[in-house]
Amino acid sequence: MTPSTDRNETLFERAKRVIPGGVNSPVRAFRAVGGTPRFVQRAQGAHFWDANGKRYIDYIGSWGPMILGHGHPAVVEAVQRAVTEGFSFGAPTEREIELAEEILRHVPSMEMVRLVSSGTEAGMSAIRLARGATGRSKIIKFEGCYHGHADALLVKAGSGLATNGYPTSAGVPDEVVQHTLVLEYNNVQQLEEAFALHGKELACLMIEPIAGNMNFVRASAPFMQRCRELCTQHGALLVFDEVMTGFRVAMGSAQSVYAQAIPGFQPDITVLGKVIGGGMPLAAFGGPRAIMEQMAPLGPVYQAGTLSGNPVATACGLATLREIAKPGFFDALSAKTRTLVDGLKKAAASEGVAFSADCEGGMFGFFLLPQLPQNYATVMKTEGARFNQLFHGLLDRGIYIAPALYEAGFVSAAHSAEDLEVTIAAAQHVFKALRG
Ligand SMILES: *Cc1c(COP(=O)(O)O)cnc(C)c1O
């Protein structure tokens, strides 16, 4: 056999010898769609180049963080300056205060924030805080929402509300998920039943307000309002996992979108990640002072991190937030995303392909389904083979979308009108083939 001339393939073979599946996070392995993952050589603006030197328009942007596009000059400069001052100290820095202040300025439900290094860590700590603050054990999560890979969150629904969920990963004991209730997203009746049964034992309800880990599914305003009311009535905390939506769908994050529909709406605890690190390992969780003061060293809830508030990561996040806080940033970004989504819808309609799509700010989702789904089971009714044909058709034409039908997409400020036109034209070709 002659060796492959495809460097992506060569690298993938080499990677698989030393890294399980050749990747450090499973979705990167292209298992759902088949084919060879693209190994990224470098990226600039809205584009990246793979190991063969082929250019792609990037709609993943590191799964959301790269809201300014790759290599934004102000961010690169801030990171370069920070690196020359030192990588990590294990002692506090002024920049951590600046980043905390910047986050709190835009998300009024948070009065204090703790910085950590990954969304998983932030979500896991938020749950510990909710349990510590309420003295209760049970938590609610929703099927199709992802909150990182903490043991208690790797769980799927059992056969009924009175029964426990099942772990979705080997290595998670049944006992560890026995306090996690898994409900259907947007199902008010189930929600009410769960609170009626377990209200007094519930520490928190955790939710992705606009779920980006089952493609793009909004919690309806009436459903969200009911979540808020029931939490308040029963003394459970409403935890918004905005790791993906935070500073991505609006400067005030998804909670500001719900506050427009539900007067005075606020969650209790907010979990952030992705955009606030601008592409560096940084995440956070925060809320009202009285709750956050339960955290060590003030209170009894322990949490710590060697690299928490890392000076290079905070420089990157701070520079990113300062850029996106500039007037008109989100209006322009939202208009771009809307142009893409409307263009894709029109292209699919003209080819007679069943298609639906939605977006908010710089985040979007589309489905090979006639109507927008409201929950995970409906998302998964998408015909996998058709999605894979769409994915590979776009990839061949230099358009990089998520390699799984249950993931959202992201537009950055660096995407040009031409990038969007090229994408829509490529999609139109693929839709034609899909219909035939
Ligand atoms: C990405 C994500 C996480 C996990 O963040 P990591 O940094 O990958 O650990 C948690 N919640 C949501 C909603 C996410 O999108």
Global confidence as pTM = 0.97
> In the chain, what are the helix, strand and coil shares in percent, each to the nearest 5?
40, 20, 40
- Contact between 155 and 145 under an 8 Å Cβ cutoff? The reply is no
What ligand 1 atom has the least distance to the C-alpha of 245?
A: 13
pLDDT in tens, the chain (436 residues): 566 789 999 999 999 999 999 999 999 999 999 999 999 999 999 999 999 999 999 999 999 999 999 999 999 999 999 999 999 999 999 999 999 999 999 999 999 999 999 999 999 999 999 999 999 999 999 999 999 999 999 999 877 776 678 999 999 999 999 999 999 999 999 999 999 999 999 999 999 999 999 999 999 999 999 999 999 999 999 999 999 999 999 999 999 999 999 999 999 999 999 999 999 999 999 999 999 999 999 999 999 999 999 999 999 999 999 999 999 999 999 999 999 999 999 999 999 999 999 999 999 999 999 999 999 999 999 999 999 999 999 999 999 999 999 999 999 999 999 999 999 999 999 999 998 7
- Contact between 375 and 219 under an 8 Å Cβ cutoff? The reply is no
* Ligand 1 contact via 277 beta carbon (within 6 Å): no
Phi, psi of 139 (to 5 degrees): -135, 150
* Ligand 1 contact via 141 beta carbon (within 6 Å): no
Q: How far is the CA of 271 from the centre of ligand 1 (A)?
A: 9
Q: How far is the CA of 314 from the centre of ligand 1 (A)?
A: 18
* Ligand 1 contact via 361 beta carbon (within 6 Å): no
As to burial, measured by CB atoms within 10 angstroms (0-12 exposed, 13-18 middle, 19+ buried), residue 406 is buried
* Ligand 1 contact via 243 beta carbon (within 6 Å): yes
Cβ contacts of 25 within 8 Å, gap of 6 or more = none
What's the length of the chain? Answer: 436
* Identified catalytic residue from 50, 241, 268, 419: 241
Verify whether residue 146 is a known catalytic residue. yes
Which residues face 269 on adjacent strands? 239
Buried-state track 322-360, b at ≥16 Cβ within 10 A, e below 16: ebbeeeebbeebbebbebbbebbbebbeebebbbbbbbb
